[in-house]
Amino acid sequence: MINITFITNGNKTVSAEENSNLLRVSLRQQGGIPFKCGGGICGTCRCLIEQGIENTDPVKNKERKHLKDADIAAGYRMACQTFVTGDVAVSWVPVQKPGMRPAPAAPSPAETAVDPSVEPTDEPADATSSA
């Protein structure tokens, strides 16, 4: 058995048979690698083998349609086309689903700091006073 760590999914680690397809393991074990077609056509399952690139099979022609030579040299693969022969750790860029808005950025400390010159009040912040 080999171990596959899904870094982007909270470092979830699962066991799999040697020579398993990376995307299929992700689907069975809820690893979280994004996908649409599963056949090397769409490019959605692009991922980075951060550890254990030597434990993957050779890059296929379908992958070369989505990955540049520099991407491949950096360790990028298409999960649907990649078979693993030993332990690997993989990450990816989470896919934004249509209609979803990105999560709001956390406010900076300056935005949440209390202004010492402002007196506390019991009135709501949007209340308007009439004279």
What does each of the 131 residues of the chain score in pLDDT, given as a tens digit? 999 999 999 999 999 999 999 999 999 999 999 999 989 999 999 999 999 999 999 999 999 999 999 999 999 999 999 999 999 999 999 866 566 554 444 444 554 455 555 555 555 555 554 55
- Does residue 51 lie in a domain region? yes
- Does residue 100 lie in a domain region? no
- Does residue 35 lie in a domain region? yes
Which residues does 83 contact at the CB level (< 8 Å), separation at least 6? 19, 20, 21, 22, 56, 57
- 86 and 18 Cβ atoms separated by less than 8 Å: yes
- Spatial CA neighbour of 20 closest among 78, 79, 107, 105: 79
Range of the domain at 17: 2-91
Q: What is the CATH number of the domain that holds 70?
A: 3.10.20.30
- Does residue 36 lie in a domain region? yes
Task: Tell the burial category of 29 from Cβ atoms under 10 Å away from its Cβ (0-12, 13-18, 19+).
Answer: middle
pTM of the model as a whole:
0.72
Q: How many domains does the chain have?
A: 1
